[in-house]
Amino acid sequence: MAIRRITGTFFLLTLLAGGLTACGAGTHPAPRDTLDVSGTGEVKATPDRFRVRAVSSRTGDDINAMKQEVDAEISAAIKLAGELNIPDNQVSATGISIQPEWQWQPERKLIGHRVARDIDFAVDGIDDYAALLEALTEIGFTELNQAGAELADPAALEEEALRKAVEDARRKAQILADAAGRKLGQVILVQEQGGSMPQPMMMAMDMAGKRESSAYAAGEMTVRQQVQVRFTLD
C-alpha cells in the first residue's frame, strides 16, 4: 500500500512538471529577425583653445646664476599670463631641471650644466594665442612649442555627432531592408562605439617679423562619433 502511494505521488509530480514546462514554453515570444548596422557622425569645428609650451634654459658653469635667470623668465611668463587674463588653472610651470652637459669627442668630458624650466599655457582664442607667442619672444624665450589645439567645450558637438551617427545607421538599415524586401522595424539596441577628435596642425606665418592673429590659421577639427544600432525586421 505504501508503494502505491509513492508511485501515485510521483505520477502527480510528473504531470505538474510537464504542465509547468508547457506553460513556460508558451511565455517565450518567437525570435524576431534583426539587423545590426554601424553609423558614423561627423561635425566640423574650428578649435578655440591652443596649448603652448615655453622652455627657459641656460647652459654654462654657474648653476646659481643660470637658475636665477631661468626663474626670472618663468616669473615674467606667469605675470604675462595674468595680463592676458589666462586663468590660473590654465598655466602650469614645472620645477627646475639641472642636467650635466658632456663632450663626447675626442673623449668624454664634463663641460658644464644645463638649467631649464618649462611653462605650459592653455589659451582661449587665436588673438590671445598670437599675443602670447609675441610676448614670450620679447621676454627672451627662444624655445616655443605648439602643444596642441582643441575645443574648449566639445560636449555639444559630440552630442550632435552622436545624433548624426544614429541617423546614418538608420539610413543604412533602411537601404538594406528595402533591398531585402523587408520592413524596417524599431530600434532595440544602441551602443556607442567611441569617438575621436584629431588635432589640426596649427599654421603659422611670419609677416615682416611681426606675429599677428591674422598670421595664424587655427585649422579645422572633425568631431567623430560611431554607434552600433540593432533594428527589428518585420
Give per-residue pLDDT as tens, 163-194: 999 999 999 999 999 999 999 999 999 999 97
- Confidence tier at 35 by pLDDT (50, 70, 90): very high
pLDDT above 90 covers a percentage of the chain that reads 65
Q: Which residue has the higher pLDDT, 48 or 208?
A: 48
Which H/E stretch holds residue 39?
strand 34-45
The cell numbers describing 68, all together, are: 636665477
The cell numbers describing 8, all together, are: 501515485
Q: State yes or no: pLDDT of 99 exceeds 60.
A: yes
Question: Pick from 136, 97, 89: which is nearest to 114 by CA?
Answer: 97
- CA 144 – CA 130 distance, rounded (Å): 12
Q: State yes or no: pLDDT of 78 exceeds 80.
A: yes
- In this predicted structure, which of 44-48, 66-70, 101-105, 138-142 has the lowest mean pLDDT? 101-105
- CA 206 – CA 212 distance, rounded (Å): 8
- Confidence tier at 216 by pLDDT (50, 70, 90): low
- Confidence tier at 147 by pLDDT (50, 70, 90): confident
Residues constituting the chain: 234
Question: Pick from 138, 123, 127, 125: which is nearest to 92 by CA?
Answer: 123
Cis peptide bond prior to 200, omega within 30° of 0? no
- CA 116 – CA 145 distance, rounded (Å): 15
CB 203 within 8 A of CB 212: no
| Single pTM value for the model | 0.66
CB 193 within 8 A of CB 180: no
Instruction: Output the CA–CA distances (angstroms, integers) from residue 173 to 118, 126, 161, in the order listed.
Output: 52, 42, 18
